[in-house]
A and B are shown apart, each in its own frame.
Chain A
Amino acid sequence: MTVMEQRGGYRPSPPPAWQPRTDPAPLLPDAEPYRVLGTEAAAKADPALLRRLYAELVRGRRYNVQATALTKQGRLAVYPSSTGQEACQVAAALALKERDWLFPSYRDTLAAVARGLDPVQALTLLRGDWHTGYDPHEHRVAPLCTPLATQLPHAVGLAHAARLKGDDVVALAMVGDGGSSEGDFHEALNFAAVWRAPVVFLVQNNGFAISVPLAKQTAAPSLAHKAVGYGMPGRLVDGNDAAAVHEVLTDAVRSAREGGGPTLIEAITYRVDAHTNADDATRYRGDAEVAAWRAHDPIALLEHELTERGLLDDDAIRAARDAAETMAADLRERMNQDPVLDPMDLFAHVYAEPTGQLREQRAQLQAELHAEQEGGH
């Protein structure tokens, strides 16, 4: 009924009661990225954990350097290096328990390796002999995901399914600053919050999406602030401070495990290398910026802290470097062997049972290969 119809009879009534659904204040990230190294918090950190992080960082850096070298030798099609981001990579792996799941993006090979994946198998995608070189169930590492942010809803669904089944499992999903602009980022965070799924989102803000800086990606105060809109806590952390990233991740994983729902963590870091070996970063950024970040190197930071406090001597440093060299030598040697390829694999896993047309096409390729071999002799 309109006001006209009941002229004089209508008295404005207040809207039905409204109140905010959650108090946004506790969800807000701190004003500064959280730091441990070089602060009072460092004294409370477990020395054994710090030494472990250190050894993994050294190994991780060596892995990045070796993999980049393998691209130059034509042994890898491409390698998106995480040099400068090793603290995020290593902490992500170490913050999880065995039964938890990791959902890496295409840049997170190192996190997968730190989680226990065979270093060669982890490179299968980038070598190009198959799309994924490992059984995801073995170390609970989802396939390295190339379409940006599309792995995030998978992590949410898996975490949700685990909780429905009564399993004590947390999923950690990794994504870049550029990926945070994707629709799947939004949908995944929203689903996670509504379902209170045991999932943690780690955004490595490394300053760039290939060439595009964060300023062209978002107008948000920080990426961590986006969490508030979904009703989950947002946390900011110095992504080059391995102790800090590990602590923030561990807290978020624990909270998820205890039923506290998801957390969005933004780790402020920097992509020291070009986007991939095929990229020329001088087209979009200056040396001074890179130098400033090189000075805030995750390995140097942790090494300094540990040596200052007498927790790491020259022998321990040498041991870490030797272990990294051994890993690199093994990687080199194994990557220098040609992968065994079977073209028939192309048809083997499209469906549980190949369709009639796939059987025909397999036979065709088989005949072609046969003819090729005959011709070769």
Chain B
Amino acid sequence: MTTVALKPATMAQALTRALRDAMAADPTVHVMGEDVGTLGGVFRVTDGLAKEFGEDRCTDTPLAEAGILGTAVGMAMYGLRPVVEMQFDAFAYPAFEQLISHVSRMRNRTRGAMPLPLTIRVPYGGGIGGVEHHSDSSEAYYMATPGLHVVTPATVADAYGLLRAAIASDDPVVFLEPKRLYWSKDSWNPEHPMDVEPIGRAMVRRSGGSATLVTYGPSVPVCLEAAEAARAEGWDLEVVDLRSLVPFDDETVCASVRRTGRAVVVHESGGFGGPGGEIAARVTERCFHHLEAPVLRVAGFDIPYPPPMLERHHLPGVDRILDAVGRLQWEAES
């Protein structure tokens, strides 16, 4: 048996590799967006693709997000598989009409005759010191739109596997890339990058019996750090990485909560109307009799995303997570 040495790679590199492999495997895959060609994207995720596959396959479009997504819809109608890059979370908003009125509905509108197999990559989230409009967590908008899948990786391996799956999906997928994890490193096997992950399965990143932290994307490493810190308090926390917000993996989440009896949902997005409310409701509806405490949320504040010099106060951190864990009615047990 030969073993291939594992090499460290960044999430950005894994995403590039996923795009490249998808384009090589399927000539209908087209990458398009602002600066994705010659420059390789502002985060360099499309680096080298225009050179390797030509500008017809990796296209610098005019600067207009609705136009990018709208033309991608037409391309998908004709049998192509466009992968659209939105330059930043907040700059995807001009494309919302196309996204909501057409991308999410075309399959349904045409009773399945005209599915739209397109992937919309959106760098999202804060923690990179970005000035206004560069740090939004927009997942709640996407989750609230039936017809879209919403996926977000937290690890290098998932960045590859989930992006491949998103591109292979016959449904539109909003692929949220936690931009502060772009440069996070992990070891992987470049010969067999990763398996293509099925969309819709959560994963237990850390097992523990005291309580469950339900989280995704940029908050996964924060939760893992919190779980380590919690050992000092005598808590053994389980961390569930959702990976896919739509479809939602009730099974994995509820199995964990039934085991631990306590749950905290952690995300950067604002709490009010945010994903945590939905998740807490689903957990409560399904696991009520297993719960020792109400499901709590640690979320960003309900404010416009703060300026970079203040963002650390906004982002859920280890202390805030541990505070929430501490409020899970432990007294009742002793």
Q: Is A190 among interface residues, defined by CB-CB distance under 8 A? A: yes
Q: Is B207 among interface residues, defined by CB-CB distance under 8 A? A: no
CA distance A357 to B64 in the complex (A): 35
Q: Which residues of the other chain, B, contact A345 by a CB distance below 8 angstroms?
A: 111
A142 to chain B, nearest CB (A): 7
B69 to chain A, nearest CB (A): 8
CA distance A191 to B32 in the complex (A): 12
Q: Is B129 among interface residues, defined by CB-CB distance under 8 A? A: no
Q: Which residues of the other chain, A, contact B98 by a CB distance below 8 angstroms?
A: 150, 153, 184
Per a CB cutoff under 8 Å, which of A349, A351, A356 touches B250? A356
Instruction: Return the chain B residue nearest A157 by Cβ.
Output: B74
Contact status of A136 and B113, CB under 8 A, knowing A161-B80, A188-B70, A191-B61: yes
A355 near B247: Cβ-Cβ < 8 Å: yes
CA distance A349 to B94 in the complex (A): 26
Q: Which residues of the other chain, A, contact B77 by a CB distance below 8 angstroms?
A: 136, 142, 154, 157-158, 161
CA distance A352 to B98 in the complex (A): 20
**Residues 178-192 of chain A, each 1 if its beta carbon lies under 8 Å from chain B, else 0:** 000001101110110
Q: Which residues of the other chain, B, contact A187 by a CB distance below 8 angstroms?
A: 62, 64, 66-67, 70
A135 to chain B, nearest CB (A): 4
Interface size class of B (residues with CB under 8 A): 35 or more
Per a CB cutoff under 8 Å, which of A130, A137, A183, A351 touches B111? A130
**Residues 73-100 of chain B, each 1 if its beta carbon lies under 8 Å from chain A, else 0:** 1111111100000000000001001100
Q: Which of the segments B38-46, B102-110, B230-238, B296-304 contacts the partner chain?
A: B102-110
Per a CB cutoff under 8 Å, which of B61, B69, B109, B115 touches A352? B115
B171 near A352: Cβ-Cβ < 8 Å: yes
Q: Is B147 among interface residues, defined by CB-CB distance under 8 A? A: yes
Residue in B67, B79, B246, B247 with the greatest tally of chain A CB atoms within 10 Å: B67
Q: Give the contacts of B223-281 with A (CB-CB under 8 A).
A: 246-248, 250-251
Q: Which residues of the other chain, A, contact B69 by a CB distance below 8 angstroms?
A: 153
B203 to chain A, nearest CB (A): 17
B80 to chain A, nearest CB (A): 5
A215 to chain B, nearest CB (A): 26
A137 near B97: Cβ-Cβ < 8 Å: no
B107 near A351: Cβ-Cβ < 8 Å: yes
Q: Is A143 among interface residues, defined by CB-CB distance under 8 A? A: yes
B110 near A183: Cβ-Cβ < 8 Å: no
Contact status of A132 and B110, CB under 8 A, knowing A156-B74, A356-B250: yes
B144 to chain A, nearest CB (A): 13
B78 near A143: Cβ-Cβ < 8 Å: no
CA distance A351 to B94 in the complex (A): 24
CA distance A271 to B65 in the complex (A): 33
Q: Which residues of the other chain, B, contact A352 by a CB distance below 8 angstroms?
A: 107, 115, 169-171
CA distance A153 to B98 in the complex (A): 9
Contact status of A154 and B70, CB under 8 A, knowing A161-B80, A194-B62, A356-B247: yes
Per a CB cutoff under 8 Å, which of B67, B109, B112 touches A188? B67
B247 near A153: Cβ-Cβ < 8 Å: no
**Residues 128-157 of chain A, each 1 if its beta carbon lies under 8 Å from chain B, else 0:** 001110011100001100010010111111
B128 to chain A, nearest CB (A): 29
Q: Is B71 among interface residues, defined by CB-CB distance under 8 A? A: yes
Q: Is A246 among interface residues, defined by CB-CB distance under 8 A? A: no
**Residues 189-232 of chain A, each 1 if its beta carbon lies under 8 Å from chain B, else 0:** 01100100000000000000000000000000000000000000
CA distance A36 to B289 in the complex (A): 79
B75 near A158: Cβ-Cβ < 8 Å: yes
A350 near B147: Cβ-Cβ < 8 Å: yes
Q: Which residues of the other chain, B, contact A162 by a CB distance below 8 angstroms?
A: 78
Q: Is A159 among interface residues, defined by CB-CB distance under 8 A? A: yes
Q: Which residues of the other chain, A, contact B75 by a CB distance below 8 angstroms?
A: 157-158, 160-161
Residue in B64, B101, B200, B251 with the greatest tally of chain A CB atoms within 10 Å: B64
Q: Which residues of the other chain, A, contact B94 by a CB distance below 8 angstroms?
A: 183
A191 near B71: Cβ-Cβ < 8 Å: yes
Q: Give the contacts of B7-30 with A (CB-CB under 8 A).
A: 30
Q: Is B72 among interface residues, defined by CB-CB distance under 8 A? A: yes
Q: Which residues of the other chain, B, contact A137 by a CB distance below 8 angstroms?
A: 113-114
Contact status of A184 and B97, CB under 8 A, knowing A153-B73, A155-B74, A158-B78: yes
A105 to chain B, nearest CB (A): 13
Instruction: Return the chain B residue nearest A171 by Cβ.
Output: B74
CA distance A161 to B78 in the complex (A): 6
Instruction: Return the chain A residue nearest B59 by Cβ.
Output: A195
Instruction: Return the chain B residue nearest A193 by Cβ.
Output: B62
Per a CB cutoff under 8 Å, which of B70, B106, B146 touches A153? B70
CA distance A132 to B107 in the complex (A): 10
CA distance A153 to B169 in the complex (A): 23
A191 near B62: Cβ-Cβ < 8 Å: yes
Q: Is A164 among interface residues, defined by CB-CB distance under 8 A? A: yes
Contact status of A355 and B66, CB under 8 A, knowing A157-B73, A345-B111: no
Q: Is A283 among interface residues, defined by CB-CB distance under 8 A? A: no
A257 to chain B, nearest CB (A): 16
CA distance A187 to B171 in the complex (A): 25
Beyond the given pairs A137-B113, A158-B74, A355-B248, 16 more chain A to chain B contacts, judged by CB atoms under 8 angstroms and listed by A's residue number, are A131-B108, A136-B77, A136-B113, A147-B101, A150-B102, A154-B73, A154-B102, A157-B74, A165-B78, A183-B66, A191-B71, A194-B62, A350-B108, A352-B107, A352-B170, A356-B251
User: Which A residues fall within an 8 A CB radius of B?
Assistant: 130-132, 135-137, 142-143, 147, 150, 152-162, 164-165, 171, 183-184, 186-188, 190-191, 194, 345, 348-352, 355-357
Selected A-B contacts with CB under 8 Å, 22 pairs: A131-B105, A131-B109, A135-B110, A153-B67, A154-B71, A154-B77, A154-B102, A159-B74, A161-B78, A164-B80, A165-B80, A183-B94, A184-B66, A187-B67, A187-B70, A188-B70, A191-B71, A345-B111, A349-B111, A349-B112, A350-B147, A356-B247
Query: What are the nearest 10 A-B pairs in CB distance?
Result: A157-B74, A153-B70, A187-B67, A157-B71, A161-B78, A158-B74, A154-B74, A355-B247, A135-B113, A161-B75
